[in-house]
Amino acid sequence: MNVLEIMERTGVVPVFYNGDAAVAANVVKACYRGGIRTFEFTNRGEKAFEVFSALVRMAAGECPGLVMGIGSIVSAADCRRFVEAGARFVVGPVFSAEVMAEAALLGVPYIPGAATPTEVFNAWKAGAKIVKVFPAAEVGGPSFVKAVLAPMPWLRIMVTGGVEPTRENLSKWFAAGVRCVGIGSNLFPGELVDAGRWDEMADDIARTLAVVAELKA
């Protein structure tokens, strides 16, 4: 099973950044215990590379089968740097031809961001196997995804931005036709992270994945 198949089978990709490697490791392990098998760490802080590298090493020993990816990539240089550090997929907030070319050269999937039907189509035409609608809630939500897929049903769409880990919200996205969802801060309540309530986080994530499994059945 390839990376994108694993992503679609699970249905949820956590999107997370924290500059504290110990905190980030606990979040990754909680996600893993909850059933997550693909994890997007974002390149959004000065310690991103250092922490990501540590997470890859940790996951190799403690989270067998977990696929670590890197998000917020907009340059070929960062794409190469993080892939060489262990990223097995690359995500961007927008489409970048240079990142697409670099990811193809390195043999890893690239999931670019798009916010209009034309951008979604052009990203697919350029070779993206999955296109990320971002920021999903702000550009029209589930109704936007449904409208885009109506004339282009072959597209594989992921959404990130404004997705909530509730049955009500998730049901709308999957009914619209998304293959998977990226969930950021809504999946990691600050009170759980600050208090180190990792088991509670893992349980919450397991419940979210159970809902997604039902919706995808």
Please say whether the beta carbons of 78 and 72 come within 8 A. no
Closest by CA to 34, choosing from 188, 191, 204, is 204
In a domain, 187, yes or no: yes
Q: What is the CATH number of the domain that holds 124?
A: 3.20.20.70
In a domain, 75, yes or no: yes
**pLDDT tens digits along 161-204:** 999 999 999 999 999 999 999 999 999 999 999 999 999 999 99
Q: Which domain holds residue 183?
A: 3-212
**pLDDT tens digits along 40-94:** 999 999 999 999 999 999 999 999 999 999 999 999 999 999 999 999 999 999 9
In a domain, 128, yes or no: yes
Question: 141-149 and 167-176 helices cross at what angle (nearest 10)?
Answer: 20
In a domain, 94, yes or no: yes
**pLDDT tens digits along 8-52:** 999 999 999 999 999 999 999 999 999 999 999 999 999 999 999
In a domain, 170, yes or no: yes
In a domain, 217, yes or no: no
Residue in the block written with tokens 């991103």: 48
pTM reported for the whole predicted model: 0.96
Q: How many structural domains are present in the chain?
A: 1
